[in-house]
Amino acid sequence: MTNSSAIGLFDSGIGGLSIARKVRDLLPSENILYVADSLHAPYGDKADSFLLERMSAVTEFLLSRGAKAVVVACNTATTSAIAKLRCQYPVPIIGVEPGIKPAALCSRTGVIGVLATPGTLKTHSFVNLAERYASGVKIELQPCPDLAAQIESLSFDSDRTIALLKRYISPLIEKKVDTIILGCTHYNHVSHLIAELAGPDVTIVNTETAVANQVVRRLTAEGLLAAGNHVGRDEFWTSGVLDSYRNQIEKLWGPGENVFQL
């Protein structure tokens, strides 16, 4: 592991690309390794033991490719088992959690909503997070089955996507939330639609920038930032169907990228 080693990121699919993009913007000289564990997606309905098994397997792969830090770019995986993952490996491991604290701070009415996978909302880590940061704030939870899978299809503006978003957002609006937390990184790809459907009086909160800033802080503290002003290299890996993943990367990152199968 050296300063020129890559930053590893992984998710069950393309959701974590939104975080990878923020990391790339902040750290243009860093090499990035991104893994979509698409063969085992979605993570949101998996048992904690299975998630830890997959998280360990993907982390082992990233370390075998020389990763100097690992970003668990998935809310479900983070809230489920990141503490155990950190006990297994010596490199910095950064996670992503639903932004309850910033939402509670910016709420005007004291009623905030959370859009997330059913799996995320059931974890002890999420429950503890809500209890820790939401004093004086009412939290309305909205599980969103099938939404992450729909976003994986890249049909962002399709009738089915809009219908799913309306189904999940409408109950929160009826409960008078003024802030909606995006509790799954997949939802970042349709944040503009969520904002449009929720209306101008509702603030949308995600944590992709906060996570990227934390990556910068951790690498700085560990003395692991890449030296020089060269352009970093990107590699994208999947455990799923390569052609489908290549199409996803081309649309969400750009053509001509290095896309490989695990």
Q: What is the pLDDT of residues 176-194, one digit of tens each?
A: 999 999 999 999 999 999 9
The answer to whether residues 14 and 73 touch, using CB atoms and an 8 Å cutoff, is no
User: Which residue stretches of 175-207 are H helix?
Assistant: 191-198
Amino acid at 236: F
Fold agreement (7-96+209-261, 100-206): yes
Rounded to 10°, the helix 208-221/17-26 angle is 50
pLDDT bin (cut points 50, 70, 90) of residue 1 is low
Compute the half-sphere exposure of residue 90: CA atoms within 13 Å on the CB side of its CA: 3
Question: pLDDT digits over 123-176, tens only?
Answer: 999 999 999 887 889 999 999 999 999 999 999 999 999 999 999 999 999 999
pTM: 0.95
* Average pLDDT rounded to a whole number, residues 87-113: 96
Q: Is 106 considered catalytic here?
A: no
Domain ranges in the chain? Answer: 7-96+209-261, 100-206
Tokens representing 106 are: 């910016």
**CATH 3.40.50.1860 fits domain 7-96+209-261:** yes
Mean pLDDT of the chain: 95
Quote the CA–CA distance of 31 and 14 in Å, as a whole number: 18
Res 2 pLDDT > 70: no
- Residue 176 confidence (pLDDT): 97
CB burial of 204-216 (b: ≥16 within 10 Å; e: otherwise) equals bbbbbebbbebbe
Q: How confident is the model at residue 229 (pLDDT cuts 50, 70, 90)?
A: confident
Q: What is the largest CA-CA distance in the chain?
A: 52
Can you list the alpha helix ranges (DSSP code H) found in the chain? 17-26, 48-64, 75-88, 100-106, 118-122, 124-133, 147-152, 159-174, 191-198, 208-221, 242-252
pLDDT of residue 40 exceeding 70: yes
pLDDT for residue 41: 92
Residue range 105-116: mean pLDDT, rounded: 96
pLDDT for 256 equals 75
What residue type is 66 in one-letter code?
Answer: G
Q: Is-contact 67 33, C-beta < 8 A? A: yes
∠ CA(198), CA(136), CA(99), 5° rounding? 50
Residue 214 has pLDDT above 90, yes or no: yes
CB 94 within 8 A of CB 69: yes
Q: What's the pLDDT at 186?
A: 97
Predicted confidence band of residue 104 (pLDDT cuts 50, 70, 90): very high
Check residue 45 and give its pLDDT. 84
Q: Tell me the average pLDDT across 94-108.
A: 95
In the CATH scheme, what is the code of domain 100-206? Answer: 3.40.50.1860
Residue 27 has pLDDT above 90, yes or no: yes
Catalytic residue among 87, 106, 144, 184: 184
Element spanning 235, H or E: strand 234-238
What's the mean pLDDT in 187-207? 97
- Nearest to 95, CA basis, from 47, 156, 43, 157: 43
